[in-house]
Amino acid sequence: MTDIEQRAIATVRGLAMDMPHAAKSGHQGTAMALAPVAHVLYGRVMRYDAADPNWADRDRLVLSCGHASVLLYAYLYLSGHGLELEDLRAFRQWDSATPGHPEAGHTAGVEVTTGPLGQGLGNAVGLAIAERYLRARFGAELFDHHTWVLASDGDLMEGISHEASSLAGHLGLGRLNMIYDDNKITIDGSTDLAFSDDTAKRFEAYGWHVEDLGEAGEDLDVIEAALLRAKAVQDRPSLILLRTHIGYPSPKTDDHTTHGYALLDADIAETKRRMGMPADEAFHVDAEVLGHYRELGRRGGAERTAWEARFAAGRTPELDACMYGTGLPGWEDQLPTWSAGEKVATRQALEAVLAAAAPLLPGLIGGGADLTGNTGTKLKGEALHSAANPGGRQIAFGVREHAMAAATVGMARHGGVLPFGGTFLVFSDYGRPSVRMAALSEAHALFVWSHDSIGVGEDGPTHQPVEHVAALRAIPGLKVFRPADANETTAAFREAVEGTGPSALILSRQAVPVLEGTDPDGVAQGAYVLSDTAHGEPDVVLVGTGSELQLCVAAAKLLAADGIGARVVSMPCWELFEDADPDYQDDVLPVDVPIVAVEAGITFGWERWADDVVGIDRFGASAPGDEVMARFGFTAEHVAERARELIVALS
């Protein structure tokens, strides 16, 4: 370790104490312990250019232990990614660029949003899949980078780490490299309280390359050599175990309290004295240290410039489509349509949509959690993605819903691909934390959930989702589509591809009729009038989603026989309708007309749009799907009766 490197690492440790102390909140000790390995990554090993944090061929660093965010912020500031010292002083404050946990899209240089432990590791698997696919498709001249992960004991205790690491080993993701910070400390105390895994053997069993560096947490040369060896392993992911000492070199080294905010004035001053820094100066950054780091941050500039020239020379319509997250010109015109009267499960409609879209959406990649054929997420004619076939676009995620969702987010955050993953709606609970992170980070990802209601039938209430659509609609920034038929499924897919942020497609197991008048432009508005009364204002509005829209159409005919004019409204996406012009909303759902909503799920939330709801506020039952639907009141006759009762009640 050179003198300037020693001072540089001391500077980072000082900032790691000062940021939480200024905020009176945060995590100090882990960042202090990891300062040397982060220095090796930013200063010796990683390929990046701080002048362009979005360079497509940069190495990615994922701080899976996001509570140590001050470590990342310190290096992003020092290396010149755009943070200033005042941003560090504003740690955890309103509207600052340095929130409590790293947020992708909010702070330049943050690759994925981390904090919920294990999520970063799952995202990193997706980053590595995306890099490998793009390298196979467009060549190593354009895509030739690595994914690095800093992970804690908490990351490896969370269940998602098992799924993600197993998937990475199975796929042989050789450019995925993880450093495990083995500091023996949790919030409650020693890791011995709850964690006695043999981590090395565990990852060897997954098929990873594993190297244990022991007590080398302060030895930059040993760390660098190990990281370079890991980088050279191309046929499998690598794990480096590194014993560190939380809070080093403070008086509270190896004290579990330093996991959080425990180093106050006296301890900070003493630690700075031990490191040869001014003891009474907060946020001290020596000019020579800053200059050293800024030089390191720019050392990838020549590589980036050369890459930009290669990229410009090698541009093709396919490459542009991948990089800009869209399709080849005219791709939408190739999407399938169906004739009114046909009966098609919307999950089957999606499979047809994917088959038509895949040749014209070169970035499209994904699959199902051992339910590929069941969920409509099979890419017909496409090979499996694997180490032997890195250009394969069909991913067999296995029964790993947690990892599938997190990897899908990681692929989206990497860029260059349009990722999707599918399972049954009732199992969306397994992936919900990742879906939430997708929304928070505005990841352009598609989540497919089929078998969307009690219409699943015989499998019974364990497999019949009732609360899940409402729970997903509650996530800010997630567009939830529940198309009523095959044509609405096509339109919803188009909106998901052309839009921003994450989208969810909620699809039926059972066949549903293709309805007369379903409108792609109406889907883009979130809701639209499917059919209306022949004359004058309607007496009642029937609003349906998914497989229940057909019941509204049939109920309107029953009401018409009684002289009651019913408008039928399809509402496939609440979120898009919420964003529509208020005048359009009032045109579709007149404020002075009784409104009945029909959806085979809980009624929670529908009070915003409807006066009455035909729903199900209990768990389902095991029986044939048609019988279950009928017994819970999902018939045209019952919908019509509820409409009559509402008209009387509000008259």
- Biggest CA pair distance of the chain: 90
First to last CA, the chain: 83
Q: Which residue has the tokens 């909303």?
A: 585
342 is catalytic: no
Residue type, 170: H
Gap between the Cα atoms of 274 and 10, Å rounded: 10
60-63 and 418-424 as β-strands: parallel, antiparallel, unpaired?
unpaired
Give 123's DSSP letter: H
Both tokens assigned to 565: 């004019």
* Among candidate residues 208, 201, 160, 154, the one with its CA nearest the CA of residue 181: 154
Q: Which residue has the tokens 């994925």?
A: 112
Evaluate whether 32 touches 16 at the Cβ level (below 8 Å): yes
CA distances from residue 410 to 61, 172, 253 in whole angstroms, order as listed: 12, 17, 34
Evaluate whether 247 touches 29 at the Cβ level (below 8 Å): yes
DSSP codes joined into one string, 338-373: --TT-EE-HHHHHHHHHHHHGGG-TTEEEEESS-HH
* Among candidate residues 13, 42, 53, 41, the one with its CA nearest the CA of residue 29: 13
CA distances from residue 606 to 157, 198, 455, 609, 646 in whole angstroms, order as listed: 39, 50, 20, 5, 15
Q: What 3-state DSSP class applies to 252?
A: coil
Evaluate whether 248 touches 32 at the Cβ level (below 8 Å): yes
Q: Which residues pair with 439 in a beta bridge?
A: none
Q: Which residue has the tokens 């001249």?
A: 141
∠ CA 118-129-335, nearest 5°, is 115
Specify the length of the chain in residues: 651
Gap between the Cα atoms of 201 and 206, Å rounded: 9
Q: Which residue has the tokens 């898009």?
A: 576
How many other CB atoms are there within 10 angstroms of residue 35's CB atom? 27
CA atoms within 13 A on the CB side of 612: 21
Gap between the Cα atoms of 416 and 285, Å rounded: 38
Of 111, 131, 163, 401, which one is the catalytic site residue?
401
How many other CB atoms are there within 10 angstroms of residue 291's CB atom? 12
Give 634's DSSP letter: -
Gap between the Cα atoms of 229 and 209, Å rounded: 10
Gap between the Cα atoms of 647 and 168, Å rounded: 58
Both tokens assigned to 309: 């020239």
Residue type, 501: G
- Catalytic residue positions? 401
